[in-house]
Amino acid sequence: MGLYNEIKEIAKVFQGADNIELYKELLDLASKALELQNENTKLHEENEELKKILDFKGKIVKHDEPYITIQGENEGIAYCANCWERNAKLIQINTVANGKFACPDCNTKGVIDREKYNRSKQTYIY
């Protein structure tokens, strides 16, 4: 039921007993309990997020170009190295036909497929 609701239940008893001062104090306490519950939920979520980041940290594979992949995950999925290093965010990068990529978040650019990139350059030479 949660601390907030429990305190409110107790407060009702004192309201009925005409003890307004105590009733008010209990309501105040209930709202503080609610704040703590919300804070607790927020910290719990942050903790989960940090655990996930820690788990990923050991599996990050860096490349010469500014992108990363995750060991054990689909090799075709790559993430922006800049976003990971700055904010510990995994932003999947968009690849384009000529082998280049761009991060949709920070716009970091690079070459993800060297072979395709070289081929696209050759066509310009002819």
Binds Zn ion by CB under 5 A, chosen from 90, 106, 109, 116:
106
> Inter-axis angle of helices 20-57 and 3-16, to 10 degrees?
180
Binds Zn ion by CB under 5 A, chosen from 78, 103, 111, 112:
103
Binds Zn ion by CB under 5 A, chosen from 3, 88, 105, 116:
105
Residue window 24-63: x/- pattern of binding to Zn ion, with contact defined by CB under 5 A: ----------------------------------------
Of the pair 23, 101, the CB lying nearest Zn ion is at: 101
∠ CA 54-90-121 to the nearest 5 degrees?
A: 130
83 near Zn ion, judged by CB under 5 A: yes
Chain centroid to Cα 87, Å, comes to 9
26 in Cβ contact with 7 (< 8 Å): yes
Strand partners, 94: 102
Cβ of residue 14: shortest distance to Zn ion, in angstroms?
56
β-bridge pairing 67-70 and 79-80: antiparallel
Mark the segment that binds Zn ion (CB under 5 A) among 12-20, 40-48, 94-102, 103-111: 103-111
Helices (H) and strands (E) in the chain, counts: 4, 6
Residues that bind Zn ion (CB under 5 A): 80, 82-83, 91, 103, 105-106, 108
